[in-house]
Amino acid sequence: MNPSIFIWTIYAIWVIVVVYLTVSGIGVKQETKGHLLQSFGLMFAIIAAFLLPLLPIFNFLNFAPVNPLLSSIGLILCAAGMAFLVWGRQHLGRNWSQTVSIKKEPELITSGPYRYVRHPMYAGGLIACIGSAIVCGGAWIFLLLILGTIFLGRVGAEDKLMEKQFPNEFPDYKKRTKALIPFVW
């Protein structure tokens, strides 16, 4: 099997999920105020992740393609992570937002993947990034580091937002459901 098929499959999965998230964002509940800075910050982080491997100092990270077994494991991780992310997005319905923001008529979602972790989209995205980094190296390693940092920051910010919006329901939900890794954290 041609090793580059793994790389192309990783990119295809990401493109499909980004298109899905973009299209599924149509018709979501309105935010109470705009968060343009968060959106631009995420966009610049992604651009930086793909530019950093071009610097000679980071050439050692451009190791792809790796052997077929490791690539298969990475591809499975990427697909599983994206499936978990999409499942989380589906369960949020109109409550989803690209940014950490207050929605009009908010709902606390605790079913589906939200039974297992409070932030399944971040968990799935991180798993997908790990799988992508295994297969492709380079930019995906930086994307894992940058998005990982952003996602961890957002976990805390979203938890604080949920505590304000749902002072009666969220504390119990937080006690029984871990943030990103079931039964661990």
**Is 14 a member of any domain?**
no
114 within a domain of the structure (yes/no): yes
**Is the pLDDT higher at 100 or at 36?**
100
The confidence score (pLDDT) of residue 34 equals 58
- Looking at residue 162, its pLDDT comes to 93
Instruction: Quote the number of domains for the chain.
Output: 1
pLDDT in tens, 59-96: 877 777 678 999 999 999 999 999 999 999 999 988 88
Helix, strand or coil, per DSSP, at residue 117? strand
Does 113 fall in a domain?
A: yes
- Domain enclosing residue 136, as ranges: 69-96+108-180
Residue 52, domain member (yes or no): no
Residue 60 covered by a domain:
no
* pLDDT tens digits, 153-183: 999 999 999 999 999 999 999 999 999 998 8
121 pLDDT above the threshold of 70: yes
d(C-alpha 114, C-alpha 50), whole Å: 31
Is 35 a domain residue?
no
Assess if residue 31 is contained within a domain: no
Instruction: Please indicate, yes or no, if residue 5 is contained in any of the structural domains.
Output: no
Residues near 159 by beta carbon (within 8 Å), at least 6 away in sequence: 118, 170, 174, 179
